[in-house]
Amino acid sequence: MSFRRVSKFGGVVALIVASFSAGRAEKKSCVVAIDIGHSESAQGSVSSRGTGEFVFNRNIANLLRERIGKDRIAEAFVIDGEGMSLQQRTESANLQHANFLISIHHDSVQPSYLSTWTYEGATHRYSDRFRGFSLFFSTKNARSEESLNLARQIGAQLVKSGFSPTLHHAEKITGENRELVDRERGIYIFDDLILLKTAAMPAVLLECGVILNREEEARLTNRTYQDKMVKAVAAGIEQACTTSSLGTP
């Protein structure tokens, strides 16, 4: 498998596309866009040890692309959205004829749950109260039922592999209060999240874990743990590819 960089999108380098050989690609009808949540210049949340969320997101996104290719599940490409709006990210997925879009993130908690500690001489914020993955989809997505199916397939494989969902996004507090539609698989509705509702294809956002939790952050930086998670996510995507009509976005 080789990789090529698409030159420009909106004046910036936007995509890294996994290109398969012609003979191999002919056998594949499923195309997966993997969005790296946030960007190098806007890192998102900061972990309990001071690492930007984007670093975690990029690692998992690239490992997932490699796993999908290795397992011959689909064609996969990564969206590195530096300088792009969220809607431009979905447009780039559409231009590459993606059948599915998954956005990779790592979770935080509300400020009221945060405490401080000292790590390597610096003060950081943390909360060990919550841990686990979560999945989000939008009912405003044109293919919301398939988005929910994608979330269910991924969630089921994560649970099967020993991962547990976090339920804290359903708390009736400011900043959370998301509708929890599948407790066992940690699936929530997030209707107005631009990336999810503007995608022309089924789309989900995966929070891999809570990086403000000190123990979970340590696990999320462990390569064996990452590989286990990525393998489960890829298996869920494979199930979605199998059960979907794979209509053109």
Contact 133, 206 (CB under 8 A): yes
pLDDT tens track for 38-60: 999 999 999 999 999 999 999 99
CA dist 141 and 132 (Å) reads 25
Percent share of the chain, pLDDT over 90: 85
pLDDT of amino acid 243: 86
pLDDT band at 7 (very low <50, low <70, confident <90, very high): very low
Give the residue-averaged pLDDT of 6-28: 40
- Residue type for position 119: Y
User: Which of these, 59, 57, 66, lies nearest to 89 by C-alpha position?
Assistant: 57
**Minimum mean pLDDT range among 4-13, 90-99, 116-125:** 4-13
pLDDT band at 247 (very low <50, low <70, confident <90, very high): low
CA dist 5 and 30 (Å) reads 20
pTM beyond 0.85: yes
pLDDT tens track for 124-168: 999 999 999 999 999 999 999 999 999 999 999 999 999 999 999
Contact 20, 27 (CB under 8 A): no
pLDDT tens track for 211-224: 999 999 999 999 99
Instruction: Evaluate if residue 104 carries a pLDDT over 80.
Output: yes
pLDDT of amino acid 25: 38
Q: What share of the chain is helix, strand, coil (3-state, %, to 5)?
A: 35, 25, 40
Q: What does 26-56 look like in DSSP terms, one character per residue?
A: HT---EEEEEESS-SSS--SB-TTS-BHHHH
CA dist 108 and 140 (Å) reads 25
Contact 236, 159 (CB under 8 A): no
pLDDT band at 246 (very low <50, low <70, confident <90, very high): low
pLDDT of amino acid 244: 76
Tell me the domains of the chain and their CATH numbers: 2-243 (3.40.630.40)
Token output for 99: 């059948």
Give the residue-averaged pLDDT of 93-111: 97
